[in-house]
Structure 1
Amino acid sequence: MLLRKGLKLGKKIDEIIVGEKLQLNEKIEDKDLLLYLGLTNDNNPLYIQHDYALDTPYKKPIVPAIMLNGIITSAISKHLPGPGSHIREQNIIYLEPVYHYETIELLLEVQHIDFAQNFVEIYVNAFKDKKIQVLNGVIKVVPPY
């Protein structure tokens, strides 16, 4: 089925297999941070004020966790399962801070398919510098119908 401007729906539940993976790299840019902060009216000094962040254990501004979550949800909406899918539940643990201008490597893997309830469980992990794990979690996704 084709949608507007040639966009195709993502994979339906019977087209997804356990073990299917997606890997993406995403660099956190100032423009992305400023858009997020402007849209949410979030003025947490830990996200943008170097003077404040210097007096914290982080020593410099960090990326809001919800922005990292946005990268994950975007990967699900665009790629796995793709357009038409919907996140039903998520449990993400943020292990290490991500700083401005860092690149994260995002890994998603289908771990379980529940045909009866029409959802897939996708395990998500993200790393910076190829070795430092910054988050992990499980996302339950309803694929497109």
Structure 2
Amino acid sequence: MLGKKRKLGKKIKDIRVGESFTTSSTIEDRDLLMYLGLTDDANPLYIQHDYASQTPYKRPIVPTVMVVGMVSSIVSMHLPGPGSHITHQELDYPKPVYHYAEVRFNVEVTDINADDHLLTLSVVGYDEEGDEVVKGYLTVQPPYEPASMNANSLENFY
């Protein structure tokens, strides 16, 4: 990743209310194992089929923080893109995400506050059945306009 030139995301002046980004993501075993290893999270609801089968969920579920990570990745990589920072979030999880589920996400710009350099993004995610698995909104600072394109701190971006 370092050494490769990357563009910054959209600046606030280039973003419009109603602009959106849609993508889907599937939760694989390797994703779950990496998360559990990094966080030392051994919640049996996430990994033990025997335990999960005795709960209302009936099978292991995906940690909600992984769903948040997928949303954060959309902001960081697509809308507004690299250089963005989430400053606030309010998300609900009306239905759990199960292992191997494909989740379709839609993020849309609902408000632009140029004076405070903030965007409001609505977020909704659906599972294969079309049921909502995440919904809410984020407050995001889009990338700032760099002072100089020759700045050493931006050597990996242009």
Same-fold call, TM > 0.5?
Answer: yes
2:28 alignment partner in structure 1? 29
2:37 alignment partner in structure 1? 38
Distance of 1:53 and 1:117 partners within structure 2: 45
Distance of 2:128 and 2:73 partners within structure 1: 22
1:129 alignment partner in structure 2? 128
2:147 alignment partner in structure 1? none
Question: Residue 117 in 1 paired to residue 122 in 2?
Answer: no
Distance of 2:94 and 2:24 partners within structure 1: 18
Instruction: Tell me by how many angstroms 1:57 deviates.
Output: 0.0
Residues 89 and 19 of structure 1, relative CA distance in 2, 3 Å threshold: same
1:87 touches 1:141 (CA, 8 Å); kept in 2? Answer: yes
Distance of 1:32 and 1:83 partners within structure 2: 22
Distance of 1:127 and 1:45 partners within structure 2: 24
1:62 touches 1:97 (CA, 8 Å); kept in 2? Answer: yes
Calculate the TM-score normalised by the size of structure 2.
Answer: 0.88
Task: Compute the RMSD of aligned alpha carbons.
Answer: 1.0
1:83 alignment partner in structure 2? 82
Q: Helix, strand or coil: the match of 2:59?
A: coil
Give aligned-pair identity as a percent: 50
1:126 touches 1:135 (CA, 8 Å); kept in 2? Answer: yes
For 1:1-145, list aligned pairs within 5 A.
Answer: 4-129=3-128, 131-145=130-144
Instruction: Tell me by how many angstroms 1:6 deviates.
Output: 2.0
Letter in 2 for 1:120: L
Unaligned runs of 5+ in 1: none
Q: Helix, strand or coil: the match of 1:5?
A: coil
Q: Helix, strand or coil: the match of 1:6?
A: coil
Calculate the TM-score normalised by the size of structure 1.
Answer: 0.96
User: What are the superposed Cα offsets for residues 18-55 of structure 1, whole Å, 9 maximum, x if unpaired?
Assistant: 00010001000000000000000000000000000011
Q: Helix, strand or coil: the match of 2:96?
A: coil
- How many pairs were matched up? 143
Q: Helix, strand or coil: the match of 2:4?
A: helix
Instruction: Tell me by how many angstroms 1:130 deviates.
Output: 5.1
1:12 touches 1:81 (CA, 8 Å); kept in 2? Answer: yes
Distance of 1:17 and 1:51 partners within structure 2: 49
Q: Helix, strand or coil: the match of 1:125?
A: strand
Letter in 1 for 2:68: N
Task: Please identify which structure carries the higher strand content.
Answer: 1
